[in-house]
Structure 1
Amino acid sequence: FSRVHSTIGSFTGLQWLPEEHVDGGYILSNLVRREPKRNIRVWMSDGLNDIEVDSNGRQDLYVAGSWPLNNIQMANALKTRGYDFHFRYGVATHSSAQGSMDLPESLSWLWRGYDPEKTDENYEQEEVERSKPIFRVQIANRDAW
């Protein structure tokens, strides 16, 4: 495959089974940073209201990690490695609403420049994205010190 469409990506420790030497999705952003760059184009979207469960919520989700933070970490890994990617970060929850709203734009973006006569295509990060800083997190629900 050469194009990836990810909405509310579960780059968390959901399937993490250390006793069986099985890594969870949280390792993927680190693999993007460490492994050789692949020739793919990636559209990601997530929202600040995605799953962030406290200790009173479902224990299996609480221990898995933060969906918003892990999506930001994946976007930063793609950015720093020079991938052709787009990250839409809105206010969405863990539902298909934002991904559905973005679908026409995301498919147009992923398939831009497609030529059925070509047998291959080289994906490079756009200059507009290259000139932007990496994503940063701002704590909005705590009192400032």
Structure 2
Amino acid sequence: MLKKDKERNDAFLAIGNIANSVKSAIAPYLDGVLIYVREGLSVQSRKRGSVNPVFDCISRLAVAVGQTLSKYMEALLDPIFACDLTPKLTQALVDMGFYIPPVKPTIQERLLDMLSMVLCGEPFKPLGAPQPNTLNSVPIIPKDAKDP
């Protein structure tokens, strides 16, 4: 796609605005658009500049086409959650959860894990969840020589 950050960011904002204007008429172009969205979320792109325009584009696409976007979510969620938590990312997740209901539980679970990693340094575990069964956590009980 475009190599200059300004042009790249403007392109994502333009795609989002077009989606906002034409709504579901953008659906036939989603395959091509989402290739660039994934590229915009790549590690190389994140190092070069802001991913906020990409999240804005994703938000507007979710609002425009709704559940039509659900078939692309599996490929998008990993690169999305590899990014740092920002207000634009949060808004994109809110919009995806609202306009694409089938992915809402996955988004909620992954967001809980992300927040738990930031706050506690480990993935989310619900209260009362059993501790993982490891050899270190099992007490060693010596066997009495008199027992058969």
Larger Rg: 2
Please identify which structure carries the higher helix content. 2
Same fold at TM > 0.5: no
The answer to which structure, 1 or 2, has the higher relative contact order (CA under 8 A, 6+ apart) is 1
Please identify which structure carries the higher strand content. 1
